[in-house]
Amino acid sequence: MCICKIKFTLMIKRELYYTIKPQLYHKNAIVITGMRQVGKTTLMRQLFNDFEGRRLWFDLDNPLDQMVFENIDYNAIYSDLARMSDIKNDERLLVCIDEIQNLPEITKIIKYLIDHYGVKFIVTGSSNYYLRNLFPESLSGRKFLYILPVLSYREFLLFNEQIQDIQPTPTLDEALQPKSRVNILKTKELYGDYLEFGGFPEVVLTTDRETKKQILKNIFASFFEKDIKVFTELKDVRELRNLILLLAARNGNLIDVTKLASELEINRVKIYNYLEFLEGIFFLKMIPKYSKSIDRSVVGGKKIYFSDTGILNLVAKVTDGQLLETAVAIQLSNYGELSFYSKRNKSEIDFILNKEIAFEVKQKVLESDSRKLLSLAKEIGIEKNYLISNTVSDMEGIVYPWFL
């Protein structure tokens, strides 16, 4: 990314920035995680720049930066940090650490320096899969954990200078409110690009379409080069690659673990481990079957969705409908827990949000779609239901995905 783009990106504030900023002077460590190249380092740099006090920055991809935290005497580590920052008397010290998963033992140091010296930490890590092990119960009550996703469509518009700033995230009720036809048509203009290329910041900031595709290839390659190195059980990268390709073709469909294991000629336990890993690093999301009373995690199969439509479009030949449904799954997840409803594998409701609201996603809605959704939702006791259309319609009560 060129210097001008870096400066531009540092100026743009993601929605999560406004959530985290009030915690900047709280004693707890701030932990930012998410997929690679979604902007964690940029977000931390913005918070670093905002901090009023002494501050230090470390990148644990750099062995020299790792050395600062390798002393077994934690008091000596603090003395080194104080000297490096030239801290005075009661000044607060902020320490920002990028790629924390490269030095797992640092969590003990963070706890000690918080408790004994009041050091403020902001750290980034590449995935929840690692961080849930990196941050044991000893840091309970000493951290705020935040997940940075790919750009929402509202952020996508901001990065494309279609809106001036990000206002407070709309509530679901606000997102579902009817909009004027002018607003509907104007806001829709770039949604096709968002579906095709996804929400990685560098991809969004690149104008040339072929270059966008190359950047997506690089992001996908970096996942294999960096993330899976930490997954010690992975003996053959090709197994995981082939599984991803099979999952991409099945995006939005029920997962049949037995069939996947048979096609890849590996055991079912390994498939489950791979799926847990892929979900843990935010590469994909699994949505369970709806149940009103029973634990949804054990009811039936799960549907799978990639976490970025650009990556999905890169690795598989998918339909426009699959891209749309994936984007909606990503967007609705911001409002709570998703499930889906299936009736004898014939009729289904695409998404049920928080067990309260049913959504059916269509490229173009018909009157019959409305009647069918109403009937199915009524069967399971859900009163609120909405059709989500990617085509502007004269029907009333239609929700458009670019407002979610």
pLDDT at 307 over 50: yes
SS3 for 174-212 is HHHCCCCHHHHHHHHCCHHHHHHHCCCHHHHHCCCHHHH
Residue 91: its pLDDT value, please? 85
Q: What digits encode the pLDDT tens for the residues 234-265? A: 666 788 889 999 999 999 999 999 999 999 99
Partnered with residue 123 across adjacent β-strands are 31, 97
Q: What digits encode the pLDDT tens for the residues 40-51? A: 999 999 999 999
Q: What digits encode the pLDDT tens for the residues 350-377? A: 999 999 999 999 999 999 999 999 999 9
Residue 232: its pLDDT value, please? 53
Q: What digits encode the pLDDT tens for the residues 51-79? A: 999 999 999 999 999 999 999 999 999 99
> Which secondary-structure segment (H or E) carries 341?
strand 338-343
Residue 293: its pLDDT value, please? 61
Ordered by where they begin, the domains of the chain are 3-147 (3.40.50.300), 153-403 (no CATH)
* Lowest pLDDT segment from 53-62, 92-101, 132-141, 268-277: 132-141
Query: Which residues, 6 or more positions from 183, have their beta carbon under 8 angstroms from its beta carbon?
Result: none
Partnered with residue 143 across adjacent β-strands are 29
* Lowest pLDDT segment from 66-75, 173-182, 212-221, 329-338: 173-182
The burial class, CB within 10 Å (0-12 / 13-18 / 19+), for 295 is exposed
* Lowest pLDDT segment from 116-120, 293-297, 308-312, 365-369: 293-297
CB atoms < 10 A from the CB of 120, how many?
23
- Name the pLDDT band for 295 (thresholds 50, 70, 90): very low
Taking the CA atoms of 379, 384, 390 and 395 in sequence, report the sign of the dihedral they define.
Answer: positive
Identify whether the C-beta of residue 17 lies closer than 8 Å to the C-beta of residue 46: yes
Percent of the chain whose predicted confidence (pLDDT) is above 90: 67
Q: What is the dihedral of CA 140, 143, 149, 152, to 10 degrees?
A: 120
- How far, in Å, CA of 217 to CA of 156, rounded? 20
